[in-house]
Amino acid sequence: MRNEFEHKQFAHCESGVVSTLLSFYGLKISEPMAFGITSSLSFVYLPIVKINGLPLIAYRELPKNIINKISKVLGIKIKTEKFKDPIEANTRLTKLVQDEKKLVGLQTSVFYLPYMPEDMRFHFNAHNLLVYGKESSKYKISDPVFEEVVECEESKLMRARFAKGAFAPKGFLYYPEDIRQNIDFPKALKKAIKKNAKSMTTPFPFAGVKGMKRLAKKIENLYKEDIKYIQLFLTHIVRMQEEIGTGGGGFRFLYAAFLKEAKEYGLDNEMLDTASSLLLKSGNTLREFALLCVMGSKKIESLDLEKISDKLHEAITYEKEAYSILKKI
Amino acid sequence: MEKVFIPQEENKTTNGQQKVMYAPNKDGKFETFKYGSSVEEYATSLAVEEYKILMEKSKQDILSGNASPIKYFMFKNRMDIPTLASIVGKFQITVKRHCKGNIFKKLNDKVLSQYAEAFDISLEELKGLHFEK
């Protein structure tokens, strides 16, 4: 069973693409649900891994987490394909969207997409988008973070699909093959929520709440660095937090929305409400935190690192409480 | 119900596009809202600006003979050494060497065209990069 394809704009590319894909092939699933049921909320601060000289900071799970996990948690089949040769990858994509009229998900680089605004083009290789057709040499694309559908010349899309570097997409494409309807949502949700609460409270010092604490500590100690580095570090945190459209700690809002939606499945609604509210508070606090980071970077003479670090600690307090509740669900 | 502030500020970096975020509506149900954030704008602009600064600096270094066009085009394409190394399939230390002015002169066309391809320019553009003092 296939539904009509309809472009929608989402907060996050991967959860958005998966939501549209599954809905199109017959399983209506919202973006927050795709994000939450795959336990995709995360926090990682890895000072040893550097991106442009700055540490890796992530507010959600690794790219492809949703695509890889959704089939397992829902017991559906998602066909994934990788390629060595760009021409072969292009022929395959054309066949799928033109001959078989399929809706196909792609992993691409952001930098090589010609429709991407100039200032948003960075070498980030784990962007996700949907291809829903082709006319002469142009692909019709539904990019989940864009307001409207876009078009892309096939030679350009080939380049974006075969960008090299970290998370190189290697022509990766995906589409659901077999979607069953009798899914035990309550069971899957309970498991997913518990799992995520556990991963956020892991003893591993660079992840979850512990990772957030470590970042707060690092911020306090930034005064030892030179001004340039402080500015870049603070805005780097903000960029990782916002990441192509999530609205200031937006992943927290996304998860809060998921917890609300989970109320329809007979779990403990009071717990879900409280935790959802706490994550909203954390999202709001993270937005204030981002604002402080930016203000501090702009007016370096009035920079108050302790205040910034305190703000992050405030978010940590809300999140800790939320996860201790969700662990017991 | 905890309220969520939805910023409606200008963000030039998105080129007129607005992004969406989740927030509860009047009835407490979550939906997507369009937003524009000046905080995001600043963070993005600073990152873009940083590459421009590095590009300008490499221009000066090329003029003084200390840097090669590879360094200039690397920053122009918003790459760093690890990214470029992975694109051309070389060790980072090799790419670092190729960023030096004196080493660049000794590189053959085969190596240079790998870089030209990475930057989406012709071999002539790479070799012929020239700045006026």
Domain hosting B89: range is 50-127
B132 lies in a domain?
Answer: no
Average pLDDT (B61-83) is 95
Backbone angles phi, psi at B20, to 5 degrees: -120, 155
Q: Please report the pLDDT score of residue A37 as a whole number.
A: 97
Q: Please report the pLDDT score of residue A246 as a whole number.
A: 44
B42 lies in a domain?
Answer: no
Please give the full DSSP string across B91-113, using - where no structure is assigned.
Answer: -HHHHHHHTBHHHHTT--HHHHH
Look at A315 and A165; give whichever has higher pLDDT: A315
B18 lies in a domain?
Answer: no
CA distances in angstroms from A327 to A279, A283, A317, A322, listed in the order given: 14, 20, 16, 9
**What does the alpha-carbon distance between residue B32 and residue B50 come to, in Å, rounded to a whole number?**
32
- In angstroms, what separates the C-alpha of A263 from chain B's closest C-alpha? 11
Average pLDDT (A295-318) is 96
**Alpha-helix runs per DSSP H in B20-118:** 38-63, 69-76, 81-88, 92-98, 101-104, 109-118
Residues in chain A: 329
Report yes or no: A136 at the B interface, CB cutoff 8 Å: no
**What does the alpha-carbon distance between residue B45 and residue B14 come to, in Å, rounded to a whole number?**
11
Q: Pick the closest to residue A171 from A105, A78, A98 (CA basis).
A: A105
Report yes or no: A147 at the B interface, CB cutoff 8 Å: yes
What is the residue whose two structure tokens read 């980071």? A293
Does residue A248 register a pLDDT over 60?
no
- Count of domains forming chain B: 1
Does residue A170 register a pLDDT over 80?
yes
User: What proportion of chain A, given as a percentage, has pLDDT over 70?
Assistant: 96
**What does the alpha-carbon distance between residue A74 and residue A36 come to, in Å, rounded to a whole number?**
12
Q: Please report the pLDDT score of residue B16 as a whole number.
A: 86
Look at A243 and A285; give whichever has higher pLDDT: A285
Q: Please report the pLDDT score of residue A2 as a whole number.
A: 66
Q: Pick the closest to residue A249 from A237, A266, A231, A235 (CA basis).
A: A237
Whether the CB-CB separation of A11 and A19 falls below 8 Å is answered with no
Report yes or no: B5 at the A interface, CB cutoff 8 Å: yes
Q: Please report the pLDDT score of residue A182 as a whole number.
A: 86
pLDDT band, residue A1 (cuts 50/70/90): low
**What does the alpha-carbon distance between residue A272 and residue A246 come to, in Å, rounded to a whole number?**
22
Q: Please report the pLDDT score of residue A262 as a whole number.
A: 97
User: What proportion of chain B, given as a percentage, has pLDDT over 70?
Assistant: 99
B29 lies in a domain?
Answer: no
Sign of the Cα torsion B64, B70, B74, B76 reads positive
Q: Please report the pLDDT score of residue A243 as a whole number.
A: 62
B14 lies in a domain?
Answer: no
The neighbour count for residue A12, using CB atoms within 10 Å, is 29
The pTM score is 0.94
**What does the alpha-carbon distance between residue B110 and residue A126 come to, in Å, rounded to a whole number?**
30
* pLDDT digits 0-9 by tens, A206-217: 999 999 999 999
Q: Please report the pLDDT score of residue A249 as a whole number.
A: 63
What does the block give as tokens for B5? 């502030």
Q: Give chain A's domains with CATH numbers.
A: 13-178 (3.90.70.10), 185-326 (no CATH)
Does residue B84 register a pLDDT over 90?
yes
The neighbour count for residue A164, using CB atoms within 10 Å, is 18
Between A98-102, A296-300, A312-316, B128-132, the lowest mean confidence (pLDDT) is in: B128-132
B33 lies in a domain?
Answer: no
Q: Please report the pLDDT score of residue B132 as a whole number.
A: 81
The neighbour count for residue A163, using CB atoms within 10 Å, is 24
* pLDDT digits 0-9 by tens, A269-290: 999 999 999 999 999 999 999 9
Does residue A219 register a pLDDT over 60?
yes
Question: Exposed, middle or buried, A191 (CB in 10 Å: 0-12/13-18/19+)?
Answer: middle
Of B2, B29, B48, which is closest to A277 when you measure between CB atoms? B2
**What does the alpha-carbon distance between residue A212 and residue B12 come to, in Å, rounded to a whole number?**
30
Write down the number of H helices and E strands in chain B. Answer: 7, 2
- In angstroms, what separates the C-alpha of B66 from chain A's closest C-alpha? 22
Q: Are strands A41-51 and A54-60 parallel, antiparallel or unpaired?
A: antiparallel
* pLDDT digits 0-9 by tens, A288-298: 999 999 999 99
Interface of A with B in 283-302 (CB under 8 A): 283-284, 287, 290-291, 293-294, 297-298
- In angstroms, what separates the C-alpha of B12 from chain A's closest C-alpha? 9
DSSP assigned state of A267:
S
Look at B74 and A243; give whichever has higher pLDDT: B74
Half-sphere exposure in the Cβ direction for A132 (13 Å, CA): 20
CATH label of the domain that carries residue B66: 1.10.260
Report yes or no: A100 at the B interface, CB cutoff 8 Å: no
Provide the 3-class DSSP secondary structure of residue A152: strand
Provide the 3-class DSSP secondary structure of residue A134: strand
B26 lies in a domain?
Answer: no
Q: Please report the pLDDT score of residue A299 as a whole number.
A: 93
* pLDDT digits 0-9 by tens, A36-85: 999 999 999 999 988 778 898 988 888 899 999 999 999 999 999 999 99
What does the block give as tokens for A249? 């700690």
Q: What is the overall mean pLDDT for chain A?
A: 93
Contact B40 A242 (CB under 8 A): yes
Does residue A245 register a pLDDT over 50?
no
Report yes or no: B93 at the A interface, CB cutoff 8 Å: no
Average pLDDT (A232-248) is 74
B70 lies in a domain?
Answer: yes
* pLDDT digits 0-9 by tens, A99-144: 999 999 999 999 999 999 999 898 889 899 999 999 999 999 999 9
